[in-house]
Structure 1
Amino acid sequence: MKHWRALIVLGTAQFLMVLDTSVMNVSISRLVEDFDTEVTAIQAVITLYALVMAAFMIIGGRLGDILGRRRVFLLGMVVYGTGSAVTAVAPTLGVLALGWSVVEGLGAALVLPSMAALVAESYRGRDRPVAYGVIGGLAGAGIAVGPLLGGWVTTYLTWRLVFAGEVVVVLAVLLCHRAIPRAVPDGPRPRMDPVGAVLSAAGLALGVLGVLQSGTWGWVRPRNPPFTVLGFAPTLFVIAAGAVVLALFRTWERRRDARGEYPLVHLDLLARPPLRSGLLALLSQNLILLGLFFAIPLYLQVVQGFDAFETGLRLLPVSVTMLVTSLVAARLARTAGPRAVVRLALLTLLVAVVWLLATIDPVIDDAQFFAAMAVLGVGMGLLASQLGNVVQSSAAEEERSEVGGLQFTAQNLGSALGTALIGSLLVGALAHAFTAAVETDPRLSAQARQETGVALEAGISFVPTAQVRSAAERAGLPPSEVAALTESYAQAQLDGLRAAVLAVGGITLASLLVTRHLPTGRPARPEEPEPAAGRTEPEEKA
């Protein structure tokens, strides 16, 4: 048991990071109510959390190399706990974004790359795939517990208690820090690359910002942007600016590498086909999962009218099957190989998406929905069981933190893009469907169409149909036209949800293309000697 103490401590941190997002997803409606805001604002807060992690994850990995992975892990837990405390008492949406999205996001960017490296350092040989399987299982457990715990606490108490509880868990992890071995570094430690850090963070931030705001700004034709560029919406220009900054980052990193200086990340790592495929698969995994976990709670809470606890109960099948599958799938990989398991996972996810599309109706069929969620969990569990070990097994010992930074950058970039892209597609499809319905509905007068068009020009939100009914009544429309507008909006909601889920299906199908270079057998590992006696110091204080 002593051999696995470090894994318990490190796995608890992994569990905590995953718990956060799943709690937020099932609490969307309550957050909208508590902060008197709109769904798009909560979408922005969720996306910002993943974006901060993605932007600073490579930096966090490099800091682990410079300051020591164990030290940076513990520092990150302190920052994360501070953010949880701020979130628990947040009086406004701005403070919520500061505590959760920014401070907790920065803490996670320090914790996760160091955690991945510490798992690899602490467990060798046959123990390493087991350790990564447990880490994947605990991620599944976070997804399992999050919707149910968060839903129950949000419905019957307050979502703030979840974050207060996180502070207690962080303190427990810090008290158990001696269980984490501290490796003695070989050779000189690298230095930080501040220019590369700024370029990478700015490039990723601009790219995701453009995708996030596309639903509000419009992709080409301006909808409600703060400014225009040559008469066009700024969305594509902001995304292009992000691409230019990332191109500058690539040039800068290669120049530093050529001069023998420490780059923020050795881009030659991405030339390794198994590592590159593993990172792209991780990005796809989180894009699919977070895209669905943004759209599905909206369907359950806004369309069906369920509270957070009822939403958590309906998400329980995906959580349970993901946890169980991720724990048992390691054996399957030994015989079939990671590539086959990942492809099976993506095909399983495709089945789940098609099944889910068939269940999005005005009246939910709980049996069909539960079955679709269970299949979704199986697919996600298969992915979670493989990709962390594939990525880390493509790295040598001295590359652990750097590869860990890339690993969690890919994951959180996928999370940010999933919430931003699927959210913007959902709102865009809703607006298009509602506009088309209003223009062609013979029950509506010209005045009703004009007033609705003016309201749509100011932007559209994913809100309960009761709010649309109330707005139409306040506008003085007759009951027949109020009913017509409400019916059109209700149908547009379903059309928007179906478009979002269909987009996830397309991404899932396209993700099969990135699996080509995944290992066909057991993941190949660089030859690493077992740690010599005295190389770790479990009892050394931080």
Structure 2
Amino acid sequence: MSNAEQRATGAAVEERRSWIPMIGLFLAQVLMSFNVAALPISLGGFVEDFGVPPTTASTTIVVYGLAVAALVMTGAKLGQRIGWVLIFRIVVVAFAGSSLLMIFSPSIEWAIGGQVLAGASAAIIVPSLVALIAENYRGDQQATAVGSLGSARAFSGVSAFLIGGTLGTLVGWRPVFLITLGLAVAVFALSFRLRSDRGDRSVRIDVVASVLIGVAIVMLTLGFNNLNGWGVISAREGAPFSVLGLSPAPVLVVLGVVFGQLFFMWTRRRMRSGRTPLVDLSVLDRPQERAAIYAMFIIVLMEAAVNFALPTYIQVVQGRTPFDTSLAMMPFNLTVFVTATLIVRFYSRFAPRTIALFSFGLTTAALVWLAFVVTNNWETIPTIAGLVVFGVGQGALVTLVFNVLVTAVPKHLAGDVGSIRGTTQNLASAVGTAVMGAVLVTLLTTGVARAVEDHPELPPELVAQVDLDSVNFVGNDELRGVLEGTTATPEQIDAAVAVNEDQRLRTLKLGFLILAGISAVAALPASRLPSYRPAEIPDPEAE
């Protein structure tokens, strides 16, 4: 009898458990994803309430991903040592505390601190979800449960943009985080239905590896996040220091790569000596698993970039409400949710490689299309169509690559898969948000500088008063207010506002084209994904 037939026979006689524990795990994924999706919706509120630029407000997004990515591998080992259920309950309570910080934060620093706490909590929740599913479910139930995490993430995006946009418009951004507080309470209550485990006190945490990977991720994220403020190559005035005239941002990126390589070298050495590593790298032994990780990084990076760029443009530049933002993003988020839920129906007919290549083709075509059709009016059919097609490709990919990873390794490595998934997704999210912000501001600065030269009605002395050639994202109304306090004539104000409007739309279009190029490059790792269908999957427990 083949492995596939044996597993099918075994699954038929396995005990089927209640789905109530899975509801709690589903809501835990919703909790984390809702929090992340609510941050872009709240950017306009952060800017208005705290008086900070959008790039500073977006630090809340970056630090969340930074904390998760830096701590998730250590969090996985803590879960194995203390016990997944116990530590799961502890960090859910901590996540509730982060929601309270967001609700009552008096400054952007408090909001950033709230997201650091949320990220540190999520660093343990992420591997917990995979490990607890493996502990509580078997066979077809386990496959369904794993797939639900992808749909939960997409569902959170839809609900966060709709509910968050409505609350942000009618009440303010703070009540949005009452939702995450309520979710945390519900998850904590449902956690008592999970199958308990005692943990393994013999598990040792590799402190050296924890430090190496943590430093690597912090350096990478800080470097990418400050490329614009500190300088891409030469150090700018805002840089905290310089290295022989070089900006510290690219230096941190290079050092982050070096520390990352040191982490892998140290971990492989520890595994060869028979000691317990921080993460078992055998889950990445085969090219298919490595390809899944590369593809996952690109997928999440693209999603983070779009979820940062569009709300920033709509709320800050166009001056529209969070509810308008939720409506504009709804076609994308709703399509991601539906596709992530339904894509499993195609697994029996098409191989992961085929689905991935087709999906990356869709995202590439959609981004190129948006670069040419997007206008200041988001309700146009061409724009909505582009977001829908992009959402179809994105939703299929989010669920697909995670399933490739989970089905490729034995059950006892579920926590390691969860930690690698968390590191990849959150590092990609932080890098995608940071790089997109840096790229858009750089393109904007260059475009405005050239546009000013083409407008003789904007003399150098006026430009010097408002520093038009070194701008951040500024709305038309805000720019008019600034110019009215200068020597500018009404004609000059109108010309400056026209420059502001045209260059920001041009910048957004260029941003879409850059993302399209990244999506096209993703065909390389996608071509290395498995070419077999689920019935042909080798049994990882038998290897």
The verdict on a shared fold, with TM-score over 0.5 as the criterion, is yes
Distance 1:177 1:361 in 2: 47
Does residue 476 of the first structure (1) align with residue 476 of the second (2)?
Answer: no
Structure 2 CA distance, aligned partners of 1:452 and 1:304?
20
Counterpart of 2:11 in structure 1 is: none
Q: Is the 8 A contact 1:9 1:173 kept in 2?
A: yes
RMSD: 2.0
Shift of 1:308: 0.3
1:203 aligns to 2:212 (yes or no): no
Contact residue 45 and residue 172 of structure 2 kept, 8 A = no
Match of 2:13 in 1: none
Give the C-alpha shift of residue 527 in structure 1.
Answer: 4.6
Q: CA deviation at 1:110?
A: 0.8
**Matches of 2:419 and 2:299, distance apart in 1:** 17
Deviates more, 1:61-70 or 1:139-148: 61-70
Q: Is the 8 A contact 2:77 2:278 kept in 1?
A: yes
Question: Structure 1 residues 221, 482: CA separation in 2 closer, same or farther (over 3 Å shift)?
Answer: farther
Task: Report what 1:440 is aligned to.
Answer: 454
Letter in 2 for 1:10: L
In the alignment, is residue 76 of structure 1 matched against residue 81 of structure 2?
A: no
Task: Indicate if the aligned counterparts of 2:100 and 2:181 stay in contact, CA closer than 8 A.
Answer: yes
- State the SS of the aligned residue for 1:306: coil
Please give the residue correspondences for 1:20-169 in structure 2 after superposition, counting only pairs within 5 Å.
20-99=35-114, 101-169=115-183
Aligned mate of 2:514, from 503, 506, 511: 503
Q: Which residue of 2 aligns with 1:460?
A: 471
Q: Distance in 1 between matches of 2:256 and 2:541?
A: 39
Name the stretch that deviates more: 408-417 or 391-400. 391-400
Look up the SS of the partner of 1:27 in the other structure.
helix
**1:257 offset after TM fit, Å?**
2.3
Q: Distance in 1 between matches of 2:516 and 2:408?
A: 29
Question: For residues 528 and 252 of structure 1, do their structure 2 counterparts lie closer, same or farther at Cα, with a shift above 3 Å needed?
Answer: closer
Change (3 A) 1:365 1:176: closer
Once the two structures are superposed, residues 445-488 of structure 1 have per-residue CA deviations (whole angstroms, 9 ceiling, x without a partner) of 232344455x64xx521010222222223221223222222221
Aligned-partner Cα distance in 2 for 1:275–1:75: 31
Task: Give the deviation of 1:2 after TM superposition.
Answer: 5.0
SS of match in other structure, 2:492: helix
* Distance across 2 between alignment mates of 1:501 and 1:44: 22
Letter paired with 1:44: T
Partners in 1 of 2:529 and 2:195 — Cα distance?
A: 31
May I ask how many residue pairs the two structures share in their alignment? Answer: 524
Answer yes or no: is the 8 Å Cα contact 2:335–2:392 preserved in 1. Answer: yes
Match of 1:282 in 2: 296
Aligned pair in 2 of structure 1 residues 250, 134: CA closer, same or farther (>3 Å)? closer
Structure 1 residue aligned with 2:6: none
* Residue 491 of structure 1, CA deviation: 1.6
2:186 to 168, 172, 179: 172
Change (3 A) 1:303 1:92: closer
Do 1:426 and 1:500's aligned partners in 2 also have CA atoms closer than 8 Å? yes
> Would you say the 8 A contact 2:359–2:397 is kept in 1?
yes
2:221 corresponds to 1:221:
no
- Structure 1 residue 271: Cα displacement: 2.5
Secondary structure of the corresponding residue to residue 386 of structure 1:
helix
Stretch moving more, 463-472 or 90-99: 463-472
> Corresponding residue for 2:273?
259
Distance 1:180 1:359 in 2: 49
List runs of 5+ in structure 1 lacking aligned partners: 530-542
Give the aligned residue type for 1:195.
V
Conservation of the 8 A alpha-carbon contact between 1:431 and 1:492: no
Secondary structure at the aligned position of 1:219 is classed as coil
- Alpha-carbon spacing, 1:328–1:499, altered in 2? closer, same or farther (3 Å): same
Give the corresponding residue for 1:343: 357
| Structure 2 counterpart SS, 1:334 | coil
Q: Could you say what secondary structure the match of 2:244 adopts?
A: coil
Q: 1:23·1:149 contact (CA, 8 Å) conserved in 2? A: no
Letter in 1 for 2:242: T
CA distance in 2, matches of 1:124, 1:399: 15
Q: Secondary structure at the match of 1:521?
A: coil
- The match for 1:4 among 19, 40, 59 is 19
Offset of residue 528 of structure 1: 4.3
5+ long unaligned stretches in structure 2: 1-15
* SS of structure 2 residue aligned to 1:18: helix
Give 1:522 deviation, angstroms.
Answer: 3.2
Counterpart CA distance in 2 for 1:124 and 1:390 is 17
Cα shift at 1:343: 1.7
C-alpha displacement at 1:195, in angstroms? Answer: 1.6
Deviations 1:62-117 (A, max 9, x none): 21222222222222212111111111111111111111x21011111110111012
8 Å contact from structure 2 (residues 305, 436) kept in 1: yes
